Amino acid sequence: MKRILCIITLFIIILSLSGCGGTASVEVFPSPEASPSASPTLYPEVSYESCSKPLIGIDVSAWQGDIDWKAVSEDNIDFAIIRLGYRGYIEGILHTDDCFEQNIRGAEAAGLLRGVYFFSQADSEESAAEEAEYVIGVLKGDELELPVVFDWEHITAEKGKLRKDAITYNTKPEEAATYAKVFCRALEKEGYETAVYISLDAPELSPDISVIEDTRLWLADLNDVPIRDFDVWCWQYDAHGSVKGVNGDVDLNVLFAMENP
């Protein structure tokens, strides 16, 4: 049976909050257990409704090459969100990430909690459904501790301009949000939890949050403090992190859970 994670509300503290069991408690990082390379900076202005510590994790793909997952786990990393695959943004072909199998098995052997993401370039409800079926086929019923994430992003060129040769060039954020719902519904029918990746550093490049506000959100926000008035499941806080066992930069994340899985 899959472990259940609860979505936590991330918000500006207006009143002084304390204690557990129904009231929010303020947590300040870094915790003494976390390594310096894997510790975000949170201030008392940010809180979460939990009595347990947030979990620290990474998201990876073939871009990271071979990963020493044992070393990753020893660097106080709790979870990994692994790219399962992607749709080519020009030819539209679906691909499995070259390192997916070794990453998903390596993370499992190292005792990390595992989620996966699919880099979408869906430009219709039909193509979103096709991507969902592809993900289901690759997973083959494999159980995950964390959700399957729909990661739809516009492709940009120099100075942030959209690439005109990308198949999603004319896709609007609200349309992408609709495709996210199609993808997530298909995965949920198979028993998987789901989430949607959004970037508040460039919201025009992500699905429209107002359309998917009832969905778990994996938030990319590279500010020191992610002060937002909506629910956040996971916060990607650093795109240039350093973790033992991973060559080069790696994205770092905080998972806000009311009950550690």
* Mean per-residue pLDDT, 156-171: 91
Q: What is the pLDDT of residue 221?
A: 84
What pLDDT is recorded for position 81? 98
Residues 80-132: pLDDT tens digits? Answer: 999 999 999 999 999 999 999 999 999 999 999 999 999 999 999 999 999 99
pLDDT band at 55 (very low <50, low <70, confident <90, very high): confident
| 220, β-bridge pairs | 199, 236
Identify whether the C-beta of residue 80 lies closer than 8 Å to the C-beta of residue 115. Answer: yes
Tell me the average pLDDT of the chain: 80
Banded model confidence at residue 163, pLDDT cuts 50, 70, 90: very high
Taking alpha carbons only, the member of 186, 80, 64 closest to residue 125 is 186
Compare 88 and 19 and report the one with higher pLDDT: 88
Q: Reply yes or no on whether the pLDDT at 1 is more than 70.
A: no
Residue 220 or 225, more confident: 220
Instruction: Quote the pLDDT of residue 119.
Output: 98
Q: ∠ CA(222), CA(228), CA(234), 5° rounding?
A: 60
Q: Which residue has the tokens 């994670």?
A: 5
On the question of pLDDT at 152 being above 90, the answer is: yes
The model's pTM is 0.81
Domain architecture of the chain: domains with CATH: 8-255 (3.20.20.80)
The fraction of the chain above a pLDDT of 70, given in percent, is 74
Tens of pLDDT, residue by residue over 171-196, are: 999 999 999 999 999 999 999 999 99
